[in-house]
Amino acid sequence: MHNKTLKQLSAALHAKEISSVELTRHYLDRIAQSDLNAYLHVDAELSLAQAKAADALLATGSAGALTGVPIAHKDIFVTQDWRSTAGSKMLANYVSPFDATIVRKLAEAGMVSLGKVNCDEFAMGSSNENSAFGPVKNPWDKLAVPGGSSGGSAAAVAARLAPAATATDTGGSIRQPAAFCGVTGIKPTYGRASRFGMIAFASSLDQGGPIAQTAEDCALLLNEMIGHDERDSTSLTADQGNVREDFARDLDKPLTGLRIGVPKEYFGEGLSSDVEKAVRAALEQFVQLGATLVDISLPKTSMSIPVYYIIAPAEASSNLSRFDGVRYGHRAKEYKDLQDMYKKTRAEGFGPEVQRRIMVGTYVLCHGYYDAYYVQAQKIRRLIAEDFQAAFADKCDVIMGPVAPSVAWDLGDKANDPVANYLADIFTLSTSLAGLPGMSIPCGFGEGAKNANRPVGLQIIGNYFNEAKLLNIAHQYQLATDWHTRAPASI
């Protein structure tokens, strides 16, 4: 049963082939036997109570498509009954008095929460090694990282510990772990999914989205996740184009005439040969499906790393100032005065990467450096967005390329080299800076004795509000290939 997609599980539930309680218990048993460290908090009693309520609704014959289907939530979303830690000691025992909007919407759709999954601390990282509760292991190769920051979400879906999971993407944190774990993930247009109840990292970049086995599953999840939220000041309104829609409406449309932009900057120095081979093969598959490849240029791509690592830490230093030991979260046990309590609390509660980014962010916002760094970064951010718009205006309908320069690396390989971790985000950062929708789908595996069992992801980038088109393209590719159906031998 755990190898079925979300769509198939929904059909089985509605056909009374299995109950939500039975299905939920099946996943809880698998989670209990797993050694991947994907989950941080599981409460079987809570999950089974939700499943029982879903079964009652299913019995009436009026249940929705997602009723009774289990889901895992990234531990960056606050939840009323499960702990919400953001992967940090700072919030180790925190339980929110309310649910994040995305969590609430999926619960209202009838989904059953399996618990909270691991992530890099405050979503800061590309490997899930920054979690205060230990790294997640990649189910394809337990010596490898699962990607980050949504590594727990991607690993849980890949290992069939959940049919789907919520995730967040600030600079690639849905797409990169989805690629490393051989699953499908989509980051919507910035502002389409509510950020209310998402523990903030970088407010102008953070965006929630789903990870699942297939594009079809992601479409069903987006149907419930998208929509304006008056409690989120960054949430786009209906007048701005943020309307509820059926993201599965175009899944079966043919790809004849589709123009795919292939940026030369995505295939240069630094891209491993096995990743390029898999991505090129995927592009040729699209040609067979009726698409045309168009060479394009995104000249500011190389600027995305310095721009992102100025803007994101600056926003993080502001957002994380609320964690001071006064109102909630960790507080140092011994201190002399208020100032000493602040210092010790934050030194004890935050991990090295979070401290590093707070310091960088505070520096670039200081008087004398704000104009030289932060303002200039925002100007270049606009130029990066304009590069995409120039390509979409008359050259291509979508853009494709690799998600990451390599397959997943070994646990510990880059733990002491933060710059190497940052460079791994080169192909995802510009999409986030521009606020565009993007997704990752499995398209092959690495090569050689070490990498042959480590997945490769294809990135698909669209113009604003074009999520349905991206899902159509991904679905047609998945109908023609079987990469998304493959599962780790360990499961």
Q: Where are the chain's structural domains?
A: 6-258+396-485, 305-375
pLDDT at 73: 98
pLDDT at 307: 97
Alpha-carbon distances of 208 from 138, 185, 222, 425, rounded to whole Å: 22, 11, 10, 18
Closest to 122 in 3D by CA, of 200, 190, 176, 187: 200
pLDDT at 421: 84
DSSP 201-233: S-TTT-EEEEEESSHHHHHHHHHHHBS--TT-T
pTM above 0.85, yes or no: yes
Q: Exactly one of 7, 74, 187, 344 is catalytic; which is it?
A: 74
Let me know if 149 is a catalytic residue: yes
pLDDT at 196: 98
% helix / strand / coil in the chain, to the nearest 5?
Answer: 40, 15, 45
In CATH, 6-258+396-485 is 3.40.50.300: no
The b-or-e profile of 250-263 (16+ CB within 10 A means b, else e) is: bbeeebeebbbbbb
pLDDT at 336: 95
Q: Exactly one of 19, 88, 127, 149 is catalytic; which is it?
A: 149
Q: How far apart are alpha carbons 291 and 460 in whole angstroms?
A: 14
Q: Exactly one of 84, 126, 131, 173 is catalytic; which is it?
A: 173
Residue 12: how many CA atoms within 13 Å on its side-chain side? 19
pLDDT at 249: 97
Contact in structure between 180 and 144 (CB atoms under 8 Å): yes
pLDDT tens for the chain, residues 1 to 491 = 899 999 999 999 999 999 999 999 999 999 999 999 999 999 999 999 999 999 999 999 989 999 999 999 999 999 999 999 999 999 999 999 999 999 999 999 999 999 999 999 999 999 999 999 999 999 999 999 999 999 999 999 999 999 999 999 999 999 999 999 999 999 999 999 999 999 999 999 999 999 999 999 999 999 999 999 999 999 999 999 999 899 999 999 999 999 999 999 999 989 999 999 999 999 999 999 999 999 999 999 999 999 999 999 999 999 999 999 998 899 999 999 999 999 999 999 999 999 999 999 999 999 889 999 999 999 999 999 999 999 999 999 999 999 999 999 999 999 888 888 888 999 999 999 999 999 999 999 999 999 999 999 999 999 999 999 999 999 999 999 999 999 999 88
* 484 three-state secondary structure: helix
Rounded to the nearest 10°, the torsion over CA 379, 384, 387, 388 is -130
Let me know if 74 is a catalytic residue: yes
Tokens 């790809």 appear where? 255
pLDDT at 37: 98
Q: Which amino acid is at 293?
A: L
